[in-house]
Amino acid sequence: MLSRDAPDTVRSVEPARAAAEASAPLDPDSRAWVRGLSGPTGERDLDVARLHAILLRAARFELGRRRAALRDVAAGELDDMAVQAADDALLAVMRKLPTFRGDSRFTTWAAKFAILEASVKARRRAWQDREITLEPEAWTRLAPAVAAADPDEAERLRAIAAAIRDVLSPHQREILVAIALNDVPIDVLADRLQTTRGAIYKTLHDARRNLRAHLAREVEP
């Protein structure tokens, strides 16, 4: 749960009242949440505890929904993951509190943070013991497999494979193949490569942009 000794986490909660009042009117329950969580540390403790309980329920629900992918995870570990997801979601909600505009009920908005944190932790746990093999040339094996059934599609894949080989850098090829062909989640790949999701997204974006530009030039008359 949120620590009393984390001033950086809650430094911006005071402007939340002003931000909420400047936006569309909030429903009474959402307004009460914003006011309660924006108060002095001692006064907001009860609201923080109530919110953590809501986030924990949302995290447990999301992990339960993904139970099939986590069938080898013991119940105790699964509950620890839920608590960690709720803790991280609470910190995120407190940081983002000034941005709440009331487009949905506050508890619905806050629960999305817990669902996101739980889903990320579930994906990471599911891939924890799986080897990620980065195969930049994997695309070249697709065209022959498709050729017998769909020659036109095989030709398109050959063109893509050639573009991947000739246009992309080795790092771009690794990222594109891991995500697009091997279905490796971005957050998992970021962990394995010891980088950030943002860096992975940028590499993927640049790779796709370069491929589109190259293929567009290839089909120009």
Domain residue extents for the chain: 7-126, 138-219
Average pLDDT on 21-38 reads: 82
Banded pLDDT at 191 (limits 50, 70, 90): confident
Among candidate residues 132, 126, 124, 128, the one with its CA nearest the CA of residue 88: 124
Q: Is the domain covering 138-219 a CATH 1.10.10 domain? A: yes
Of the given ranges (21-35, 127-141, 201-215), which has the lowest mean pLDDT?
127-141
Banded pLDDT at 70 (limits 50, 70, 90): confident
Per-residue pLDDT tens digits for 81-123: 999 999 999 999 999 999 999 999 999 999 999 999 999 898 8
Banded pLDDT at 25 (limits 50, 70, 90): confident
Per-state percent for the chain, helix, strand, coil, to nearest 5: 75, 0, 25
Please give the Cα distance from 77 to 81 (Å, whole number): 6
pTM: 0.61
